A and B are shown apart, each in its own frame.
Chain A
């Protein structure tokens, strides 16, 4: 067998693989850490330096060069091949990401730096020096070109980062395994052990390549403590449902929305005070937000309710709550109830552009005001729009974040409601998953604070003894002494309070 041309083919493959790992690391780090100029510059610098270290270190390998070469190939196959998946797993924990990233780049660089000098020494007996240098280096650079062309045009768009990484790991492993045959005369011992190692590595990489799809979920798994049973990005948000020892939990953009273990506390406290304040026979109910259907479950407990209009931005969310068995079970198939009608729209725009018969009760259950798009749903303008859809005796309730953690935010919402003419009864309760949680019960005319939940409703949390205590505020959650701003569209004071108050806990 003529060995030399085949070894030259190895040079091309090695060079391609080497550059691919470098590009992968650069891309991933700019995904995760941002600032692609700095990231690419650092990665290239460290990688080239490490190659230099490898080349220099090659002088210390004196014996069994062929065997060492195969070993190095297999090491590159493992570390390089698994580099992208490993980095994906690490970015759940950002504080280590940099360390893992740069160490990995350094190790791969060093190993790749060893490859070419060793290969040249293997080939030196078959060619004269002039020929050797010119051919090996030329092929090395051709490999680099191939990698840099393949990477953006084919590999990233078609295979993705994980599969690219694993594929080139397999190529490296193949070069190693093939090397045991090509270099058989030069390998003095352990040739079978080398081959077994090679095939095991190749098999592992292959399995990972087939299973690559689940790797992204695996990475996300580490962001959440429980198993992910559903994860999808809608045009509006990232929806993740997890299942753990305590039950199911829903996350929107990484923020916990409920945990089935104690969500009934939150939803009973959200819905029933408004029904108690409204009085007899509420018929038309409006729910804004609340796509999980859990507020619906509570509302549908009332026989007098004739129709419930639910307006939630994200069809991805309302459909999931209907279709995912874990959620449908939790909301007791609320979406299948003929009394419920769903509209997917931004509630702000929807209220502004629809003339509707007024509602008896409105339940406002939006995510916390952590951005301007959500902040507008807590403004005087929004509450004025809502007001125009109510009767003089209607009751409304609004979830208002935590008065303990975000005290100013909470009272800013109360003040905002008062500014448009609502009589507000603030109340709070404890939901272990969230902490101390605040709500606002309001009507357009003076009303008695309800003292107990409506009769004959099946409740797990609220009872006659504890109901009234929700309207008492411990001293650390009462209205602060300083001036609290009203949240308006043109100042979005709430988003700024909220950012300031919650940032302390990040």
Chain B
């Protein structure tokens, strides 16, 4: 359940609009909610029935009654509201349903605080998430780490994000706000090729920058809601730097094949482009990383799966 909370549409919006600390507390509350849900409903519940009911309550809310959830500002109030809607459900069902709506109401209140996003829209995606969460809850209980977070991969094969780091944001959930402009530091470098020049494709020496800098670190403006990929696309286009990418549906992100005609596998079988934001290598695709004001975004060419540019995640996880 926890992983699903990464995908709540309002979460991302919060991440854009609120400050860093706010963002974290939101996620934290999301976790505790998911946690309590697991404690309450699992074990005794007939899981498939519970899953089904969560769909029902969610869709009913989406179809007709967003106001109900809007009024319930905390998770405690929502069981009553759900009881009234689902009627004679058995206790497990209502319990499960309440969690679904609780999550939703939590989301709603968040979005009320921070954003003027359309309510109907949130309701719809709530339905979708409901279906999705039911699918998840059918599966066996996931192992958890010390903080009570579920271990395992999300829908797009992403491992849990370390605490304090921004969670992935699905590009389809984001509306880029052209009016709100921020700045970040952006650079594209390929120093590692210079250190591994013997591995490098000799036919491409003509495009290899002698100082390893494709795009020197500089301040770049971006609109609110833009991802690292959007930023890269725009900068390369403005600066007439060649870029080839491919959308990979299973990771829901663009895969950068080559920048400035320096392609993956040009410097050995373990080479390619990777990115780093604020000295952290995100463990998800660049289309899902939303840039925040003042971020330091770096695109780095690695010749050894990230180890040579300081990605210790890849070292630990093979």
Asked whether A and B interact, the reply is no
**What is A's interface to B at a CB cutoff of 8 Å?**
none
Q: List chain B positions with a Cβ less than 8 A from chain A.
A: none
